[in-house]
Amino acid sequence: MIRFEHVSKYFGERKVLDAVNFKVERGETFVIVGFSGAGKSVTLKHMIRLLTPDTGKIYVGNDLISTSTGADLVRLREKFGLLFQGAALLEWMSVFDNVALPLREKTNMSDAEIEKRVEEKLRQVNLTGVHDAMPSELSGGMRKRVGLARAIVMNPEIILYDEPTSGLDPVTSRAIDQLIDRMRLELKVTSVVVTHDLFSALAIGTRIAMIYDGRILEISRPTDFIRSQNEIVKRFLDAQYITKKGAWERTDHETQ
């Protein structure tokens, strides 16, 4: 569905992506993990052409998105929903208007239909009773969820999530995980999820990719990921107390 071929990206002298190759299959939930500043958001932005690779090609389906412009790009972007890391809500519009925006601008739906759809999506992300609130009145986690509702409101084929659960409490995080999983199972949506949260990565990912220093260190299924022999992957897993059994193993003072 999405294919990176030798994609490199420089910001000035700094090489942020270094000949990255991978492929996201149709209908899978592809999770990207990695340290802060590793290039996860940059990778995600390449998929929807908010950034253009310096070398290499990016395909969406059979179309080359990395060089497309105009009507072609519009058509390709229509397949996507994107949740930005900072939510990127339009600050002067209410929550309802923010979520309804793509419907109002891009479809001929009636006001009643729009209202119904927006309600449904807000309920799916566990947000109710904030209809008329302005984004500046919301907490960080609530903004994230409004952003998520906006990303899925057009029922896109591919959804890109940049840290969907960061800043959320564990219960809401799991609800979002279930939402992502349900979309894969019921609607056959292809998802790419950038996250720091290994628990959700292991729970929802069909495959997990670890980015380190602009390269893909490892791509594997969750069960193989936690058994990885790669030193850096191991360090990443250990930092979140995840062992080969995939469970907690407390080694600190409490057990002593």
Which residues make up the interface to other proteins (CB under 8 A)?
10-13, 48, 50-52, 69, 74, 77-78, 80, 82, 84, 86, 88-91, 101-102, 104-106
Query: Could you say which of other proteins, Mg ion, ligand ATP, none residue 48 binds, taking C-beta under 5 to 8 angstroms by partner kind?
Result: other proteins
**Shortest distance, position 107 Cβ to other proteins, whole Å:** 12
**Shortest distance, position 87 Cβ to other proteins, whole Å:** 9
**Shortest distance, position 200 Cβ to Mg ion, whole Å:** 16
> Which of 85, 206 has the CB closer to Mg ion?
85
State both tokens at 185.
């199972």
Query: Could you say which of ligand ATP, Mg ion, other proteins, none residue 236 binds, taking C-beta under 5 to 8 angstroms by partner kind?
Result: none
Query: Could you say which of ligand ATP, other proteins, Mg ion, none residue 39 binds, taking C-beta under 5 to 8 angstroms by partner kind?
Result: ligand ATP
Query: Could you say which of ligand ATP, Mg ion, other proteins, none residue 77 binds, taking C-beta under 5 to 8 angstroms by partner kind?
Result: other proteins
**Shortest distance, position 208 Cβ to ligand ATP, whole Å:** 15
State both tokens at 2.
């999405």
> Which of 85, 178 has the CB closer to Mg ion?
85
| 236 HSE (CA, 13 A, CB side) | 28
**Shortest distance, position 37 Cβ to ligand ATP, whole Å:** 4
Of 177-236, which residues contact ligand ATP (CB under 6 A)?
Answer: none
Looking at residue 41, the DSSP 8-state letter turns out to be H
Q: What are the distances in angstroms from CA 117 to CA 98, 120, 149, 155, 157? A: 13, 5, 10, 10, 17
| 94 HSE (CA, 13 A, CB side) | 8
Is residue 247 within 8 A of residue 226, CB to CB? The reply is: no
Compute the 3-state secondary structure of the chain and give helix, strand, coil in percent, each to the nearest 5.
40, 25, 40
E strands in 152-228: 158-162, 190-194, 207-212, 215-220
**Which residues are CB-contacts of 205 (< 8 A; sequence separation ≥ 6)?**
29, 30, 31, 193, 221, 222
**Shortest distance, position 184 Cβ to other proteins, whole Å:** 21
Q: End-to-end alpha-carbon separation of the chain, Å?
A: 50
> Which of 10, 59 has the CB closer to ligand ATP?
10
Residue selected from 1, 2, 7, 16 as contacting ligand ATP according to rule CB under 6 A? 16
> Which of 53, 95 has the CB closer to Mg ion?
53
Of 35-74, which residues contact ligand ATP (CB under 6 A)?
Answer: 36-42
Residue selected from 29, 41, 98, 124 as contacting Mg ion according to rule CB under 5 A? 41
Q: What are the distances in angstroms from CA 202 to CA 68, 88, 92, 156, 237? A: 34, 27, 37, 24, 11
